[in-house]
Amino acid sequence: MTTTASVPATAKSGFRSRRAVRREAQRQEELMSTVPLRLYGLRKGTVNFITVLCGLFAIFTLAPIVWILINSTKNQANIFESFGFWFSRPFVLWHNFSNLFQDVEGDGIYIEWLGNTALYAVLGGVGCTILSTLAGYGFARFSFRGAKAAFFVVISALLVPITAISLPLYLVYAKIGLINSLWGMVLPSLVSPVGVYLMRTFIRGSVPRELLDAARIDGAGEVWIFLRVVVPLIIPGMMTVLLISVVGVWNNFFLPLIIFTRENLYPLTVGIANWANRAVSGGDANVFPLILIGCVVTIIPLIILFVVLQRYWKSGLLFGSLTG
């Protein structure tokens, strides 16, 4: 009896010792990954000051979102009469949510706006990612005359605000028939100087030239090399560009405002702004709760997309910051 009782005790103690070893190894790894402040050349007071500034910036950024979330649970009277950063009765979140998809006139136009926004974001985001990847690969791994000049021209597009080209863009669209057209929204969304820069930087750091030369020596074609060798190595960078471009198209307001004149083609940004204008002018009653709950529904898909692609987005940006 003594021998049989000692076996479980020995196994239990061995399990505890292994668990203790794993905890110690994790602690040592955390200590090794933590860089002392003195190596940054910063004092503790400076770090505390920067932390406070970051906290204030976070409050400034999150305060409007919190206000929208809280007030989407109120009726129109409580939105104006109660404290904006606290709940009030009656709690009508689900009532507002059900009314949202009937909207003001009962024709469910919000569903059309949501579908339009998703379509524009998917087509523009995927297309932008593909073009940015191809352009970044060309600038990073091919040498041709005028490569640097062409890259600087692409990056210089960041200096041109959309308001400066709105009138020429509208006139060109009117000439070629792209007003109130799907492609009028998608085609400008395919071009992203930031995406090209990120992919060029990422490819330079993650795709060695020796690997490409070895594939060429083995007789592989350029298309095969790009699809089977390069793409698997740059997935984090591509997902980063995809996230940035989708969010950019989803939140785009000025471009659809100038090219769409039909309400059934509006994205969410222009549609909700149209509701707000009608509410301010006094043409519609009880529309403010729909505007707020509509903003909440607009934010949710982006949060889900960010959570899904977060690990790619973080590694892609960090890699781009560590490479020249």
Average pLDDT over residues 41-67: 86
Q: Say what the pLDDT of residue 320 is.
A: 45
Q: Say what the pLDDT of residue 14 is.
A: 56
Q: Say what the pLDDT of residue 5 is.
A: 45
Domain residue ranges of the chain, discontinuous segments joined by +: 109-322
**Residue 107 pLDDT level (bands cut at 50, 70, 90):** low
pLDDT tens, residue by residue, 269-316: 999 998 888 877 765 657 888 889 999 999 999 989 888 887 776 554
CATH architecture, range 109-322: Orthogonal Bundle (1.10)
Q: Say what the pLDDT of residue 285 is.
A: 59
Residue 79 pLDDT > 50, yes or no? yes
**Residue 1 pLDDT level (bands cut at 50, 70, 90):** very low
| Mean pLDDT, the chain, integer | 82
Residue 38 pLDDT > 90, yes or no? no
N residues, the chain: 324
Sign, CA torsion 299/85/93/256: negative
Structure tokens at 4: 């049989």
Which of the residue ranges 36-40, 86-90, 143-147, 296-300 would you say has the lowest mean pLDDT? Answer: 36-40
pLDDT tens, residue by residue, 237-263: 899 899 999 999 999 998 899 899 898
Q: Within 10 Å of residue 150's Cβ, how many Cβ atoms?
A: 14
Q: Say what the pLDDT of residue 132 is.
A: 94
Neighbouring residues of 104: CB distance < 8 A, sequence distance ≥ 6: 275, 278, 284, 287, 290
Q: Say what the pLDDT of residue 35 is.
A: 54
The answer to whether the bond into 90 is cis (omega within 30° of 0) is yes
